[in-house]
Chain A
Amino acid sequence: MNTYEKDQKNVALKLHYDIANDDFSRAGEASSKIKKMLKQLAIDANIVRRVAIATYEAEINLVIHSNGGNIEVFIKSDCIEIYVEDCGPGIENIDLAMTKGFSTATNVAREMGFGAGMGLPNMEKMSDAFIIESELGAGTNIKMIVRYET
């Protein structure tokens, strides 16, 4: 499993959120809703926390770096899968983007406390499986799996 592919099998519940770019005032709403839903489903607190952190970082990246996109969460019996897709601009060098501390955030974003270059590393750290694919001019797709038992 090394390529980005949505696994539609055995999905108990599917959540979908569209994320607009540059809408700082609403950034964090989708991840807050996802967290609330997982809590209602009585999912283990540690799993909820990992998904919350991963979806928050994904959501903020869509807001500050992308032209807009969406986050889908598949709740399954053994894991939670998170799919993040956007419609550009894409990432030129993924290895560089994944490096702690690397950021192209604008000064405006940095003044607000974004741009530590920790978002993608945080997402990878929270996931049991992490796949990122990107094409310049097309967009970026990220798949993360958080398993209930590891």
Chain B
Amino acid sequence: MLVRDLIEKHGFIKISGSDQEREILNVYSCDLLSWVMAKGKHDTAWITVQTHSNILAVASLLDFSCIIIPEGISVEKETVNKADEQDVVLLTTPLEAYEIFKILYEEGVK
């Protein structure tokens, strides 16, 4: 599936970045950054409740497709601005991680 599908079909809100055509091949959820660094694969949709700007370095160093901030958590302006500068796609949704996993699974991320 594409990042675009999360936005258009599932109502995720894009708050930064531009590349909606990025494919999502993997999904991962963890809030410990060096754990993510060890396990994260390329083209991953990464679900995390961390919202400070260090998540951007993790996502871009690992070539993630997007970062998903769940449960309606708001993201600092500083992070959004930096994400735009670095062209990292940040998505927000009111859904919990489990609901997000279900959507991705049903869209073929397996």
Contact = CB atoms under 8 A, between A and B. Distances in A.
Given A49-B62, A52-B61, A56-B61, A24 B54 contact: yes
A96 B8 CA distance: 49
A122 B37 CA distance: 8
Interface of B: 31-35, 37-38, 42, 48, 50, 52-58, 60-63, 78, 86
B33 A113 contact: yes
Interface string A38-72: 00000000000100110011001000000000000
B37 A118 contact: yes
A119 B34 CA distance: 6
Question: Which among B53, B56, B61 has the greatest number of chain A C-beta atoms within 10 A?
Answer: B61
Given A56-B57, A116-B32, A122 B38 contact: yes
A122 B57 contact: no
A118 B34 contact: yes
4 cross-chain pairs, A with B, having the tightest CB-CB distances, nearest first: A28-B57, A118-B34, A116-B32, A113-B33
A49 B32 CA distance: 19
A28 B31 contact: no
A64 B63 CA distance: 24
A112 B48 CA distance: 11
B38 A112 contact: no
B54 A28 contact: yes
B38 to A, nearest CB: 5
Given A53-B61, A56-B37, A125-B38, A112 B32 contact: no
A19 to B, nearest CB: 13
5 contacts: A27-B54, A28-B58, A53-B61, A113-B32, A113-B48
The interface size bin for chain A is 20 to 34
Contacts of B42: 49
B60 A32 contact: yes
Nearest to A115: B32
Given A24-B54, A28-B56, A116 B61 contact: no
A114 interface: yes
Given A25-B78, A31-B57, A125-B38, 6 more contacts: A28-B57, A28-B58, A32-B57, A57-B34, A57-B37, A118-B37
A112 B54 contact: yes
B61 A25 contact: no
B61 A28 contact: yes
